[in-house]
């Protein structure tokens, strides 16, 4: 026992409960991310679909979440898992039909679940009708003005218009005549280049074009009219680029954002340390008017519709600009996701997140995993925690599975104990690890191919879910087909193996979500508990619906046991706790407890 305290009064309040009238559902919601390819396959083709999701919605209702967020299910060639959209108003046949989408929305309403859908406005697929028209129309056409086409530099325009890199690796520009489909076409000699911040099959739209803005407002209305409750906006910080598209020698990574703070070209003066890093392709001030206009569109509809920003923006004060009262409603808290598994790091990000969001009256969100990062049950078992690598292969250092799961359960209970809105990525309620031995010949992420295998990519966190241990494809597909292979050891993690089993990760999540609602944690106030404010190994927060102090959320990130402060009774723990000889409760390392007086 290394730390103890008999003081139980809250110390420094870092977040006050939402004021009266701030009761919109999204302020405290737990939202479950469904990656349609990998959730449930109804027709046996090995690809998840909307009918499969609808058939499994009872699982989400029993889990106790408030809403689900659907990753893209639109018509798409699937070069980037559906984030390359060819038609924003159509369901891809792989996933079903518009009728299937309507049936999913209707069943969700019956179960009391709200539905948020993904929107991908930074870029389209190169198979979108607009891009096909742009290629056919040629240089200087109105059709090309919907995208970012530019002349090249150097003799004959042989060099890209600037030096930007794709987030997926390689240059962010492709010359029209260098496309694989160029030979023999009417534009085979076309010397222009087009911008793609991601894959070359994902050309960036030009949001200075009023036609682009009008089109997406119409897309919003199309889905709002069908009954969706809001939109998660992909790459929300990327729509507007700096005027002139200036060179920039930095690098951007998914979720982490700007990795290399160098700005300007060779010989440019060093950037002052206090100056925020701002890449010319991201977080430009012009994005905010777009979201103010979208906010007005959503306000035309009843029921507290919501906009959620996926924005890799630092510092947190700039991220908070996206959730000002007349813009978006939530923004993903990536600094929390990428934080090291250390008490000082987590303490700092929790405090700064509340501070920035409270200033604009927005809820703080919490997230640990999604479809773009190594699952936190594996990430937290690596020698270095934080965001982790972009995928893990069989030849890479492997996570400590037992340590990773123990920490993942503790991190999840910490996250769900924090007021605000929490996001759960499909399968994390089962304690699913990353598939770290996925064969390279099964990989499909464009990152893997664009980096020539240097980055394994995101396939390992997108493997189809295990529902039934003894069924084909663990119940994902009636035929046993699966678009990515599932690890054999996932059988023991299947839903039917964990449901009703005391101590399972699934039952931990179910209990935590029930208690979160009963104890009013989502809308509570937060204060640091005295005696632990500067602890190197322990986070201790007093949380309460009316004011801080009703519930103690304590996470021990150290190796030694920690005594639970006197006067508190454990109501939930991520792992086994021990009763000392004096009757006190000892919390082991990598464990979170919720306690009441």
**pLDDT by residue (tens digit) across 514-529?**
999 999 999 989 999 9
Average model confidence (pLDDT) across the chain: 92
Domain enclosing residue 153, as ranges: 129-195
Last residue of a domain, one of 464, 498, 532: 498
What spatial distance separates the first Cα and last Cα of the chain, rounded to whole Å?
21
Same domain, 397 and 291: yes
With respect to residue 255, please indicate whether it lies within any of the assigned structural domains.
no
Q: Give 270-300 pLDDT, tens digit per residue.
A: 444 445 568 999 999 999 999 999 999 999 9
Query: Is 234 among the catalytic positions?
Result: yes
Percentage of the chain beyond pLDDT 90 is 84
Q: For residue 272, what pLDDT is reported?
A: 43
Q: How many Cα atoms occupy the beta-carbon half-sphere of 582 within 13 Å?
A: 7
pTM of the model: 0.93
Same domain, 294 and 365: yes
Distance from C-alpha of 84 to C-alpha of 125, rounded to nearest angstrom: 4
Point out which residues pair with 563 in neighbouring strands: 586
Closest CA to 120 of 37, 233, 32: 233
**Structure letter (DSSP) for residue 183:** T
Residues near 236 by Cβ (< 8 Å), separated by ≥ 6? 287, 291, 309, 310, 311, 322, 328, 331
Same domain, 109 and 178: no
Point out which residues pair with 252 in neighbouring strands: 258
Furthest-apart CA atoms within the chain: distance in Å: 85
Distance from C-alpha of 350 to C-alpha of 253, rounded to nearest angstrom: 23
Same domain, 134 and 118: no
Find tokens 């980055």 and name the residue: 455
With respect to residue 107, please indicate whether it lies within any of the assigned structural domains.
yes
Percentage of the chain beyond pLDDT 70 is 92
Secondary structure (3-state) at 345 = helix
Same domain, 187 and 228: no
Find tokens 């086994």 and name the residue: 576
Same domain, 411 and 289: yes
With respect to residue 188, please indicate whether it lies within any of the assigned structural domains.
yes
Distance from C-alpha of 587 to C-alpha of 211, rounded to nearest angstrom: 59
Residues 455/447, Cβ–Cβ less than 8 Å: yes
**Structure letter (DSSP) for residue 165:** B
Same domain, 303 and 230: yes
Q: Give 401-443 pLDDT, tens digit per residue.
A: 999 999 999 999 999 999 999 999 999 999 999 999 999 999 9
Find tokens 């893997």 and name the residue: 448
Distance from C-alpha of 483 to C-alpha of 37, rounded to nearest angstrom: 8
Domains identified in the chain, total number? 3
pLDDT band at 549; cut points 50, 70, 90: confident
Write down the catalytic residue from 49, 100, 234, 310. Answer: 234
Is it true that the peptide bond before 391 is cis, omega within 30 degrees of 0?
no
Residues 554/538, Cβ–Cβ less than 8 Å: yes
Same domain, 462 and 547: no
Q: For residue 450, what pLDDT is reported?
A: 86
Write down the catalytic residue from 211, 285, 289, 300. Answer: 300
Secondary structure (3-state) at 193 = strand
Same domain, 186 and 143: yes
With respect to residue 88, please indicate whether it lies within any of the assigned structural domains.
yes
With respect to residue 312, please indicate whether it lies within any of the assigned structural domains.
yes
pLDDT of 383 > 80? The answer is yes
Same domain, 457 and 367: yes
Residues 229/209, Cβ–Cβ less than 8 Å: no
Residues 23/555, Cβ–Cβ less than 8 Å: no
With respect to residue 204, please indicate whether it lies within any of the assigned structural domains.
no
| Residue 513: C-alpha distances to residues 61, 431, 572, 591 (Å) | 11, 16, 11, 18
Residue 163 belongs to a domain with what CATH number? 3.90.400.10
Same domain, 412 and 431: yes
Residue 86 belongs to a domain with what CATH number? 3.20.20.80
Q: For residue 501, what pLDDT is reported?
A: 97
Structure tokens of 68? 């689900």
DSSP string, 543-585: EESSSTTSEEEEEE-SSS-EEPPTT-EEEEESS--EE-TTS-E
Same domain, 421 and 562: no
Distance from C-alpha of 197 to C-alpha of 122, rounded to nearest angstrom: 9
The dihedrals phi and psi of 219, each to the nearest 5 degrees, come to -65, -45
Residues 253/295, Cβ–Cβ less than 8 Å: no
With respect to residue 247, please indicate whether it lies within any of the assigned structural domains.
no
The dihedrals phi and psi of 336, each to the nearest 5 degrees, come to -70, -45
Burial of 500 (0-12, 13-18, 19+ CB in 10 A): exposed
Query: Is 310 among the catalytic positions?
Result: no
With respect to residue 55, please indicate whether it lies within any of the assigned structural domains.
yes
Neighbours of 6 (CB within 10 A): 10
Q: Give 481-501 pLDDT, tens digit per residue.
A: 999 999 999 999 999 999 999
Using CA atoms of 458, 460, 464, 465 in order, give the dihedral in degrees to the nearest 10. Answer: -120
pLDDT of 3 > 60? The answer is no
Q: For residue 206, what pLDDT is reported?
A: 98
Q: How many Cα atoms occupy the beta-carbon half-sphere of 476 within 13 Å?
A: 29
DSSP string, 77-108: --TTTT-S-SEEEEE-TTT--HHHHHHHHHHH
Helix 98-110 and helix 210-226, axial crossing angle in degrees, nearest 10: 50
């Amino acid at each position: 026992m290394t730390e103890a305290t008999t003081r139980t009064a809250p110390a420094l309040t870092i977040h006050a409960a939402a004021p009266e009238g701030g009761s919109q559902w999204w302020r405290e919601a737990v939202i479950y991310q469904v990656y349609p390819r990998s959730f449930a396959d109804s027709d046996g083709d090995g690809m998840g679909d909307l009918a499969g999701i609808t058939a499994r919605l009872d699982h989400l209702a029993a889990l106790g979440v408030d809403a689900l967020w659907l990753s893209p299910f639109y018509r798409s060639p699937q070069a980037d898992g559906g984030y390359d959209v060819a038609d924003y108003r159509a369901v891809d046949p792989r996933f079903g039909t518009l009728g299937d989408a309507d049936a999913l929305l209707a069943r969700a309403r019956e179960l009391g679940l709200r539905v948020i859908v993904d929107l991908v406005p930074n870029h389209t697929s190169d198979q979108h009708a607009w891009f096909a028209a742009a290629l056919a129309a040629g240089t200087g056409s109105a059709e090309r003005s919907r995208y970012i086409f530019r002349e090249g530099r150097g003799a004959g325009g042989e060099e890209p218009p600037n030096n930007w890199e794709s987030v997926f690796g390689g240059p962010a520009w492709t010359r029209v005549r260098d496309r694989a489909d160029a030979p023999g076409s009417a534009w085979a000699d076309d010397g222009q280049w087009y911008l793609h911040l991601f894959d070359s099959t994902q050309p960036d739209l030009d949001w200075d074009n009023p036609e682009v803005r009008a089109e997406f407002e119409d897309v919003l209305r199309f889905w709002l009219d069908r009954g969706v409750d809001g939109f998660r906006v992909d790459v929300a910080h990327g729509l507007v680029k700096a005027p002139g598209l200036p060179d920039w020698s930095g690098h951007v990574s998914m979720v982490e954002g700007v990795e290399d703070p160098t700005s300007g070209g060779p010989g440019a003066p060093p950037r002052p340390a206090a100056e925020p890093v701002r890449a010319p392709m991201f977080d430009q001030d012009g994005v905010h008017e777009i979201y103010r206009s979208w906010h007005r569109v959503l306000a035309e509809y009843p029921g507290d519709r919501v906009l959620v920003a996926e924005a890799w923006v630092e510092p947190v004060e700039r991220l908070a600009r996206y959730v000002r009262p007349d813009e978006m409603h939530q923004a993903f808290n990536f600094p929390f996701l990428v934080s090291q598994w250390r008490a000082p790091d987590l303490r700092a990000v929790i405090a700064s997140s509340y501070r920035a969001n409270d200033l604009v009256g927005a809820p703080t969100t919490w997230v640990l995993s999604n479809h773009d990062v190594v699952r936190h049950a594996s990430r937290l078992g690596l020698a270095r925690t934080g965001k982790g690598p972009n995928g893990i292969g069989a030849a890479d250092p492997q996570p400590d599975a037992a340590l990773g799961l123990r920490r993942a359960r503790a991190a999840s209970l910490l996250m769900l104990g924090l007021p605000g809105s929490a996001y759960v990525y499909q399968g994390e309620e089962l304690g699913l690890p990353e598939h770290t031995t996925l064969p390279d010949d099964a990989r499909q992420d464009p990152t893997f191919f664009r980096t020539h295998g240097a980055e394994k990519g995101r396939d390992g966190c997108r493997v189809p879910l295990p529902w039934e241990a003894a069924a084909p494809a663990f119940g994902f597909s009636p035929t046993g087909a699966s678009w990515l292979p599932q690890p054999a050891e996932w059988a023991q993690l299947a839903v039917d193996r964990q449901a009703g089993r005391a101590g399972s990760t699934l039952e931990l999540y179910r209990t935590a979500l029930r208690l979160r609602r009963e104890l009013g944690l989502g809308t509570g106030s937060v204060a640091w508990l005295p005696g632990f404010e500067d602890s190197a190994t322990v986070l201790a927060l007093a949380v309460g619906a009316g004011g801080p102090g009703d519930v103690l959320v304590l996470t021990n990130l150290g190796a030694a046991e920690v005594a639970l402060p006197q006067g508190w009774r454990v109501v939930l723990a991520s792992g086994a706790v021990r009763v000392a000889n004096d009757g006190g409760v000892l919390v082991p390392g990598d464990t979170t407890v919720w306690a009441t007086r």
